[in-house]
């Protein structure tokens, strides 16, 4: 069990550019979640996958955001035409498919949009 891995850990980009983050969950975990955390706030739910199916999306996930989990293993979160308001820590978490949602989080990917 190597935990939840996120890449890159830090990304600095210019406004208008596209960025992509990758998350590798714990191997036996079927569920994968994306959260966003801004300074002084708690994590805010963005979207959730059960295997390859995207089952829930928050209203925070605008049209510029897209998430995929094509083979039910790793996931990507892409932000198109980044805005300064997108600057945040993007957190990935995973959990087992049965029982209560005990989430294991990765260290996060910090995005800075200049």
Partner 1 sequence: AQSVTQLDSQVPVFEEAPVELRCNYSSSVSVYLFWYVQYPNQGLQLLLKYLSGSTLVKGINGFEAEFNKSQTSFHLRKPSVHISDTAEYFCAVSPNQAGTALIFGKGTTLSVSS
**Cis peptide preceding 8, ω within 30 of 0:** yes
How many beta carbons lie within 10 A of that of residue 67, not counting itself?
Answer: 21
- Angle among Cα 1, 42, 28 to the nearest 5 degrees reads 20
Among positions 12, 16, 17, 41, the unique one binding partner 1 when judged by CB under 8 A: 41
For 86, list phi and psi in degrees, rounded to 5. Answer: -80, -10
Among positions 56, 60, 81, 83, the unique one binding partner 1 when judged by CB under 8 A: 56
**Interface characters, 68-97, with partner 1 (x: CB under 8 A):** -----------------------x-x---x
Rule CB under 8 A: is residue 39 a binding residue for partner 1? Answer: no
**Interface characters, 94-113, with partner 1 (x: CB under 8 A):** ---xxxxxxxxxxxx-----
Cα separation, 14 vs 73, in Å, equals: 30
Q: Which residues bind partner 1 (CB under 8 A)?
A: 4, 31, 33, 35, 40-45, 48, 50, 55-56, 91, 93, 97-108
């Amino acid at each position: 069990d190597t935990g939840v891995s996120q890449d890159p850990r830090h990304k600095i980009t210019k406004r208008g550019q596209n960025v992509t983050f990758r998350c590798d969950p714990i191997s036996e975990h079927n569920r994968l979640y994306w959260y966003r955390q801004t300074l002084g706030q708690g994590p805010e739910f963005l979207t959730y996958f059960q295997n390859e199916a995207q089952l829930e999306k928050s209203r925070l996930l605008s049209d510029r955001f897209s998430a995929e989990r094509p083979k039910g293993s790793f996931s990507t979160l892409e932000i198109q035409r980044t805005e300064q308001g997108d600057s945040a820590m993007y957190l990935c978490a995973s959990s087992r498919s049965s029982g209560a949602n005990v989430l294991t989080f990765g260290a996060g990917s910090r995005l800075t949009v200049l």
